[in-house]
Structure 1
Amino acid sequence: MRAAAGGSGGCVSACVWFAPGRANLMGEHTDYNTGFVLPFALAQGVTATAVARPDRLLVLRSKQVPDEPVTVSPDSLAPGSVAGWAAYPAGVAWALREAGYRVPGASIDIDSDLPVGAGVASSAALECSVALALCGLAGAQVARRDLAAIAKRAENEFVGAPTGIIDQAAALLCRAGHAMLLDCGTMDITHVPFRPGRDGMTALVIDTRVPHALVSGEYGRRRSECEQATRLLGVPSLGSVADAALAGRLADPVLRRRVRHVVTDSARARAIAAALAAEADQADQAATAQETYRFIGRLLTQAHLSLRDDLEISWPEADIAVDAAIAAGAYGARMLGGGFGGSVLALVPAQRLPAARAALTEAFAQRSWTPPEFLDAVPSAAARRIA
């Protein structure tokens, strides 16, 4: 088994790790197609407090799930052996073991200030905080790119959610005050400055209160459709397609729409990263900031239309939230995450924020929907040890 003294923060008998959620400026369903994504880490996330145990058991507790603790043996873990929320930390232990790392016995207490099912990667934050805590107790030194892949494997194979790498990569690799352009084919990263608060803007996450579950069939169906289109086009992946017009070679109109979304959303991620980098290079950043944010807002709205019409993963509350936010002064908005529930990201001038929140609450009330909840998304640092 692989292990090295002093790894992952050097904790021996106890440690506390925090991993953030994420919002994604651009690039939905592009990660598993080896395209580009542009996430940033949130200030909110998941904390894992781990204390070593001599009995080689994992005892898992969550403040958000006040049930009895879940106790498992790392040596007997297999996909499907643990259900519910505990499948995520147990899956991390299994994936670390499968990668050749020693998994120590530990009591792990979980706490979170992320909304669950809101499309802000609460499951990846849980996985990454636990992965770092277990590595710290074991003295295992694991590169963060490798740890992201291990956590992704836990979600894919142990939990059964066919997600890409964006959430785990964002939790482990983002920087404060930046968005992270990630080439999911090569794992090359470019950090670009993104400080909406400095520029009089708010990146507002609107939780529509419609929970989503990526283990449901629709997410997997979209992935299968993309894989089918890849085979029919004879390309290595849809991320390698530069021109959406190539989709015209496909007879199936559904597959044509799926390809068009992946290619254009990946291009939008690159375009936003380029715009943010160009603004940072300007001598007078204030003079170009509003123009840059208006450009980003237009691409956000274009992306929502693509997610709604080409990928067909939006839901009524998201569509209304996008329309209401823009009508109240947002520069643009789009649904976040894998779809079929969750949140919307709106780019709102700070002076318009109270009006936007009020308009969104009223739009939901008019339809007798559960009131939305709001989170000001501040680009924050990646996972870190806090004790």
Structure 2
Amino acid sequence: MHSVAAYRDYLEQGGFDHVFSHIHSGSRIKESRQRMSGLLQCMSEQFDGQEICFASAPGRTELGGNHTDHNHGHVLAAAVNLDCLAAFSKSKDNMVTIISEGYDPIRVDISDTHPRVEEKESSAAIVRGVADGFRKLGLNVGGFNACVHSIIPAGAGLSSSAAFEVLIGRIFSYLYNGRKISPLEVARIAKRAENIHFGKPCGFMDQMACSFEGILSIDFNNPEQPGVTSVQPGFDHEAGKGFYGTGYRLCVINTGGSHADLTPDYAAIPAEMSQAAKLCGQDQAKGLTLDRILENIDLIRTKAGDRAVLRLFHFINEDRRALQQAEALTTGDMSRFLRLVAESSRSSSDLLQNCFSPNTPKTQPIPLALTLTEQILGTRGVGRVHGGGFAGTIQTYVHNSDFEQYCQAMEKVFGINSLIELSIRQPGNEYLTPEQHITKSGE
């Protein structure tokens, strides 16, 4: 832990610039300095005189495996350079107090960590839920004060809620558990908090990607103990701008649209896959083959419908594709990777059918964004639906030569700042502290 003054001096010397370039990208260093400066000011004003530390937790992007995790399949996911950044210090009791610009203060007494109905779908529920998860595992928790700033857009499919959950877990780990809580345990605690205390039946991919960082190939064959493989892309990182120097920019486009009435659409996907899989004699789609589906296709069509058959076909191929995408990145084969992205896009649109809601057929921002991407980029880029679908974001890979034109065109249709360029964040900078030569006043 260090004083606010020590942090401020080191920040003004440019001491954190190398860390900022790794976790936020070189183009955001000025913004990163301003964020840290603002949080230091917040800590001085709100919690004067305390020793502090900084923690960061990233958002995530799904690179492959659209709607495969809930049926025990493979996913390719990555942490990104947009994060929740927090300055924090111990409090003298069990009270957690969080100040975040633009939001009401969060105050949670974690002496009692049982779920509360009145806190459902609130940040307070997440704090209480993470504390409860630590306690259930016999780990230590206690109060803390924090000032938080997030640059992960809410509702843009980049997992702002999972990042906040992981951030709270990292703070408890640092202050009360010697920084020894593993990324898997933090992710598991975060998911539990969202499921039980927050009240959202989410999967596990978001928390895993935010907690482990880097690019991950995740096998959900055992959902409680997922297999995690770190993917190291075989590209020349210094070759130029964009996605690992490949000449392509990784972006998401926030197409807008409300998720409020889409819960039945989301729920129908795993429900139909599971129902169809049971008609083939097993509980989930994982492990099904084309032959097995064809043997039971009449029964599936009668009991679950044609769409359930199509969604099983999507799962089988998308599960395989997520592994092939990881292999293409590892071998540095960008052409193959982009072909697989294009296949995933067509499969989500034609088979999974999660690009627009059948209940609002005149509202189709995702098909519109995908079609515009194809019309503008031709063979020099590709787009796919990102995450749950039906509304929200698409993911695109845009060649450097087309980036400015593409950005202008998409923002004309979907609004200023609707295009968000991403870079992949690597693990190792969960906590930001001044270098060792600065005198510590106790750590």
Q: TM-score range by the shorter chain?
A: 0.7 to 0.9
Query: Identity of aligned pairs, percent?
Result: 25
Q: Is the 8 A contact 2:216 2:228 kept in 1?
A: no
Distance 1:119 1:17 in 2: 22
CA contact (8 A) 1:91 1:154 kept: yes
Q: Which residue of 1 aligns with 2:127?
A: 89
Distance 1:86 1:215 in 2: 25
Please name the residue that 1:150 is paired with. 189
CA drift of 1:90 comes to 2.9
SS at match of 1:88: helix
The answer to whether the 8 Å contact 2:88/2:145 transfers is yes
Map of 1:300 onto structure 2: 341
Q: CA deviation at 1:198?
A: 1.0
Aligned with 2:246 (options 165, 183, 199): 199
The one-letter amino acid paired with 2:107 is: V
> Pairwise mapping of residues 274-313 of structure 1 onto structure 2 (< 5 A)?
274-279=327-332, 292-313=333-354
Q: Which of 170, 176, 183 is the aligned partner of 2:219?
A: 183
2:281 & 2:109 partners in 1: Cα distance? Answer: 44
Of the three residues 301, 311, 315, the one matched with 1:262 is 315
CA distance in 2 between partners of 1:214 and 1:58 (Å) = 33
Question: Deviation of residue 346 (structure 1)?
Answer: 0.7
Q: Which residue is 1:324 aligned to?
A: 372
Distance across 1 between alignment mates of 2:281 and 2:261:
28
Contact kept in structure 2, 1:181 and 1:192, CA below 8 Å: no
| Residue 126 of structure 1: how far off its partner (Å) | 0.7
1:63–1:154 Cα change, 3 Å: same
**Equivalent of 2:409 in 341, 347, 359:** 359
How is 1:1-387 mapped onto 2 (pairs within 5 angstroms)?
14-65=52-103, 67-78=104-115, 80-83=117-120, 84-139=122-177, 141-175=180-214, 179-185=215-221, 186-193=226-233, 196-212=243-259, 216-235=263-282, 237-241=284-288, 243-248=289-294, 249=296, 250-251=300-301, 252=304, 253-279=306-332, 292-315=333-356, 316-329=364-377, 330-362=380-412, 364=413, 370-371=415-416, 373-382=418-427, 384-387=430-433
> For the residues of structure 2 that align with 1:322 and 1:386, how far apart are their CA atoms?
39
Give SS of 2:325's match: helix
Moved over 4 A (4+): 369-372
The residue identity in structure 1 corresponding to 2:117 is G
Distance 1:339 1:13, change over 3 A: farther
Separation of aligned partners in 2, 1:25 and 1:373: 19
TM-score (norm 1): 0.83
Say which is worse superposed, 243-252 or 184-193, in terms of deviation: 243-252
Residue aligned with 2:142, SS: coil
Residue type matched to 1:267 in 2?
R
What amino acid is the match of 1:337? Answer: G
* 1:77-113 per-position Cα deviation (integer Å, ceiling 9, x unaligned): 3153413333333322222223332321122332100
Counterpart-to-counterpart distance in 2, 1:62 and 1:217: 32
User: What is the deviation of 1:114?
Assistant: 0.8
SS across alignment from 1:260: helix
Q: Give deviations 1:278-319, integer Å, cap 9, x for gaps.
A: 22xxxxxxxxxxxx3333333223322322333332231111
Q: Which letter maps to 2:423? A: V
Does the 8 Å CA contact 1:21/1:171 hold for their aligned counterparts?
yes
Distance 1:128 1:76, change over 3 A: closer
Separation in 2, partners of 1:169, 1:231? 28
Structure 1 contact 60–86 (Cα < 8 Å) conserved: no
Q: Deviations over 1:243-280 (max 9, x none)?
A: 3453332232232122222222111111111112222x
The question of whether the paired residues in 1 share the 8 Å contact of 2:108 and 2:128 is answered with: no
Are the counterparts in 2 of residues 43 and 381 from structure 1 also a CA contact under 8 Å? Answer: no
Query: Is residue 253–residue 393 contact of structure 2 (8 Å, CA) maintained in 1?
Result: yes
- Residue 199 (structure 1) shift: 1.6
Structure 2 vs 1, CA of residues 217 and 59 (structure 1 numbering), >3 Å: closer, same or farther? Answer: farther
Deviation at 1:359, TM superposition (A): 2.5
Decide whether the 8 Å contact of 1:325 with 1:333 is kept in 2. Answer: yes
Q: CA 1:213–1:127 in 2, change beyond 3 Å: closer, same or farther?
A: farther
> 1:68 Cα shift?
3.9
Q: Given that residues 23 and 120 in structure 1 are in contact (C-alpha distance below 8 angstroms), is that contact kept between their aligned partners in structure 2?
A: yes
CA distance in 1, matches of 2:417, 2:390: 16
CA-atom RMSD in angstroms: 2.5
Do the aligned partners of 2:64 and 2:75 also contact (CA within 8 Å) in 1?
yes
Q: Distance in 1 between matches of 2:273 and 2:228?
A: 22
